[in-house]
Amino acid sequence: MRFLVRRLGFLLVALWAALTVNFFIPRLMPGNPAEAMMATFRGHVNPAAMHALEVAFGVNTHESLPRQYIAYVGNTLTGHLGNSTSYSLLPVSTVIMKALPWSLGLVGITTILGFVLGTTIGAISAWRRGGALDSVLPPVFIVISAFPYFWIGLLAVWLFALTLNWFPLQFGYTETTVPALTWGFVGDVLDHAVLPAMTILITAIGGWILTMRNNMITVVAEDYVKMARAKGLKPRRILWQYAGRNALLPNLTGFAISLGFVISGAILVEYVFNYPGVGFMLLQSVQDQDYPLMQSLFLLITVAVLMAIFLSDIATAILDPRTRSSS
């Protein structure tokens, strides 16, 4: 339990750090670029919303920095994120909700799939040391990991969408159709998700395979694995219950660290496919100089990553009895 409390404490510190970074970035930039943006708001939004924006970006305000900071933290925690300039001044939270399900579906599913598949393949490849899987996979994924994520996406667009015409070129669904819960629409969404999902999967899986393989190689040499073999346990049981379970622990920590990396790749993959998710929206907001939307998206992505890390901490606590001991 102490382990989880400590990790929860860390989660809060990291959240606070992200909030604070978000607060200071626009203020540290030369000639606060948000000021030009604010001019477009004047007279279009109600005074309370205007004030919230001024607080968020430190424009036109005579309040001291600490008071601005407190007001900003209060606004953010209560979900008052401001209005989006590029989406006809709708509240940022409304705009984000349009993109969030797409990213959760695409990036969420592919990340979990990549982790499970990669870990399994890595474990098996280390178990059969020097086998076909073990000698082919590492060099292949070393080379793949050197390609920019978005470039794999460009290649997929060119090969499978433009040349072979197997899959649609872009967006989350056929833009002429109206989203509805019908089999036809669901099929259309899946059809559009195949290329971006494969791109993220191919680029993300290599890391999981290599780290799991390396952990596994170390663990397999441990005495308790030899002991299990000496006892005559079934190899499959040793592989998953003895070695795999322990090799997975550092991989879970690795999951936390690599998640930010996967998200970065996913942002660019969404951009390549014009996929209507959070990453594409982030880059759009940069182009439109929609700073309230941009900063809220940064916070949202950070919170999502931190939550996923906390979930992996809970998984670690379940898998590793040492973390549950009170000492």
Partner 1 sequence: MKVLGALGRVARRAINFLRRDKKAAVGAVIIFALALVAAFPSWFMPHDPTAEIYTPGAGLSLNHLLGTTSFGQDVFSQVIAGTRESFLIAMIVGALTTVISVVIGLSAAYSGGLVDDGLSLLTDVVLVIPTFPLIIVITAYVKNASFWMLIFVLVFTGWSYGARQLRVQALSLRNRDYLLAARARGESGFYVVFVELLPPMTSLIVANFLSSALYAVLAASGLQFVGLGNINDQSWGTMLYWAQNNEALATGLPLWALAPGVAIAILGSGLALLNYAFDEIANPALRPVRARRKVVAA
Residue of 4, 90, 133, 283 interacting with partner 1 (CB under 8 A): 283
- Report if residue 83 touches partner 1, rule: CB under 8 A: no
- Report if residue 136 touches partner 1, rule: CB under 8 A: no
Phi first, then psi, for residue 182 (nearest 5°) are -120, 160
- Report if residue 162 touches partner 1, rule: CB under 8 A: yes
Mask: binding to partner 1, 216-255, rule CB under 8 A, as x and -? -xx--x----------------------------------
Query: Least distance from C-beta 17 to partner 1, angstroms?
Result: 5
- Report if residue 256 touches partner 1, rule: CB under 8 A: yes
- Report if residue 181 touches partner 1, rule: CB under 8 A: no
Neighbours of 196 (CB within 10 A): 27
- Report if residue 29 touches partner 1, rule: CB under 8 A: yes
Residues forming beta bridges with residue 83, ordered by sequence position: 91
- Report if residue 121 touches partner 1, rule: CB under 8 A: no
By CB under 8 A, which span of 72-80, 144-152, 241-249, 319-327 interacts with partner 1?
144-152
By CB under 8 A, which span of 78-86, 106-114, 140-148, 184-192 interacts with partner 1?
140-148
Query: Least distance from C-beta 180 to partner 1, angstroms?
Result: 30
- Report if residue 319 touches partner 1, rule: CB under 8 A: no
By CB under 8 A, which span of 14-22, 87-95, 234-242, 317-325 interacts with partner 1?
14-22
Residue of 25, 36, 77, 227 interacting with partner 1 (CB under 8 A): 25
Query: Least distance from C-beta 178 to partner 1, angstroms?
Result: 26
Q: Which class for 117: exposed (0-12), middle (13-18), buried (19 or more C-beta within 10 A)? A: middle
Residue of 33, 74, 79, 235 interacting with partner 1 (CB under 8 A): 33
Cβ atoms of residues 153 and 196 within 8 Å: yes
Sites of contact with partner 1 (CB under 8 A): 10, 13-14, 17-18, 21-22, 25-26, 29, 33, 129-130, 138-139, 142-143, 145-151, 154-155, 157-158, 162, 214, 217-218, 221, 256-257, 259-261, 263-264, 267-268, 271, 282-283, 286-287, 289, 291, 294-295, 297-298, 301-302, 305-306, 309
